[in-house]
Structure 1
């Protein structure tokens, strides 16, 4: 049926999407950015040579909505692949279309999350560090949204996963207590900020007492560091950088020390520069992924990745950023777990496809790399998916629940497509094709 003049979807239909870009200053510049190339191909809009392109958003969040191509008000969505593109303006958001046609999500998704996509799909191109940040759990998100709706845009939590497209660097979670002891002994500038009492607390915890005492000690030290005045931090960082430059003449610096020098050039005098010593420095190779639950500190540093998360844009920041900081909230909300993050390698589904399935119900991501003259099939599942074509050219065909096959159409780099629930997808290529698919976890 139609609602408010909008057409209902046909079975076996894929819908092309026109997606949004974020030009944050930490993004890669112009055509060097994967985000820029995808956005330009997806929309037909040129990207300025000096424009930073940071994030390509594919979803329903109001801060960067996707639009249904060929389905602006009063027009019909075509059977099969809805064609469109170029500079045409679209007025029907994917969220509006889904709310008018909730069956496209599948009964299980609607029952659990309502008439909206529970996940947000992105591509990131990172030239310099993002903020030291964490994402609130649902209870905290609801409170923050109620108290500061202009800062915290929604009431949802935001577990997320970053899947590396290139070599990718991040800070993620706190270092082990053993490493924390090493840090406070070898980075005297931390002691200058937090005071000798905090340092002594760390050093006098015995190994068999770590589980009991580590969290409050780490929380106290971290809060003291992050809450220090700008003048104190600026003076201490000046000493730190001077000391590291002198050390560099006598020995090769550690990877963390080199990172700190790099961060200081990006964010001079920022508390995040010295706080980096407290976090795990994670390096991902292409095809590796890390995931983050609520209230876990992290900062993406460099590289390009696929990112998927629950549908939210809530970020609590406290360092390495010119944006709004909420140090008190961040320091109070963190779990203060001390462990290196789990790295996902992907589970092979067939010769061409790997699945990355973090411990969250809202999403999982498939990576598919098809060689020349190959075909693969994504079986019908009870939930909806979004596909993004990263490179190459191929054809995509659909089969509805009654096995009616819709004739395939060409897909190329930058195409983004919404696949309704219970729709099987066949992808084939002559020259090769790379794509990602995001959707609700299939076992939910």
Structure 2
């Protein structure tokens, strides 16, 4: 991809996904081709499971407007959709992902607790979206979500207006809902169905730098504002139904059928940050989601500090997100590190980092 220095970009991809692959700076070779010609660099475990490939896709995202309300199909559905429409669904893989905040990060992830949602939908403007049944459960929630997404533009706008006329105290633990509806409406108009789904049904979270979330396959989410490191299984499949033009939305029926109901509260959406045994000097944390495709290391160094990463038994992709420094690799070679620089690291390579002024490095890996 040719970079136009006069333009702003909201995403930077790293890895081997065909629509936006990485290339070796030294030779111009496609990273995927390099791995095919040198399969030993991914390590035996990764080679046996995924072939000469990087099984994850790291990105840097920067956005000030809500990204589409979406889910990513699970393995079974992804295979089915890829077979039916390979142009739109370009692979047969699932796409569980994590997002790590580099700045203040606002987002919607998963569902509010069921009891809280049930209380919201006793409000007069929302009663019409509730199916007639005795028990309020996740299937009720599926039908409510479907009804909100199928509502006409005028019904959406009228409902938002009616909710904004209700005192904030009537929204229980969520007094922010009327104000949030106003904010979202200004971004995507008061006619966007995603406004109601996100504000009423989903967990609204504000994370600080270093905080992170895990989004399982088929889990509803929408990122609102911030700068993040994102990493996912190697896929670009997505089903959108809000915060985007109507012509770009996918089938509400497909979206509704694919939904799962995890997580079902804000706390369960968070991914803990723990010290990693990959860092020899205690300067490295790990974000390890409950999937096999990847984990992410974060090394933050102050002025004059050093860190060593033990060798990893699989491939990794590393980006410097702040500051500068240097990296020593086996053979006595010293490599300069600067903000925005990206490195592929083959299996079995130990790395020594040092910095005079401070530096932050994120490294996604599989083994």
- TM-score under structure 1 length normalisation: 0.76
Tell me what 2:16 maps to. 60
Give the gaps of 5 or more residues in structure 1: 1-19, 21-42, 73-91, 206-212, 400-404
The answer to which of 158-167 and 333-342 deviates more is 333-342
Tell me the matched-pair count. Answer: 356
Give the one of 184, 187, 191 matched to 1:266: 187
Task: Give the secondary structure class of the aligned counterpart of 1:436.
Answer: strand
Query: Does the 8 A contact of 1:372 with 1:432 survive in 2?
Result: yes
Task: Give the secondary structure class of the aligned counterpart of 2:108.
Answer: strand
Give the one of 56, 59, 70 matched to 1:119: 56
Task: Give the secondary structure class of the aligned counterpart of 2:255.
Answer: helix
Task: Give the secondary structure class of the aligned counterpart of 2:122.
Answer: helix
**In structure 2, how many angstroms separate the alpha carbons of the residues matched to 1:156 and 1:435?**
28
CA shift, 1:342, in A, is 3.5
Give the one of 428, 431, 440 matched to 2:354: 428
Give the gaps of 5 or more residues in structure 2: none
Task: Give the secondary structure class of the aligned counterpart of 2:356.
Answer: strand
Tell me what 1:348 maps to. 275
- Where in structure 2 are the equivalents of 1:211-360 lying within 5 Å? 214-241=137-164, 243=165, 247=167, 254-268=175-189, 269-276=191-198, 277-322=200-245, 323-337=248-262, 338-340=264-266, 341-349=268-276, 350-360=281-291
| TM-superposition CA deviations, 1:124-165 (whole Å, max 9, x none) | 112111111001111110111111222111111000000111
| TM-superposition CA deviations, 1:209-251 (whole Å, max 9, x none) | xxxx61221112221221223343344334445x26xx47x99
Tell me what 2:40 maps to. 103
Tell me what 1:375 maps to. 306
Structure with the greater alpha carbon radius of gyration: 1
Task: Give the secondary structure class of the aligned counterpart of 1:68.
Answer: coil
Query: Does the 8 A contact of 2:324 with 2:355 survive in 1?
Result: yes
Root-mean-square deviation over aligned CA pairs: 2.3
| TM-superposition CA deviations, 1:382-435 (whole Å, max 9, x none) | 101111011222111112xxxxx2320211111100000011111111221111
- TM-score under structure 2 length normalisation: 0.91
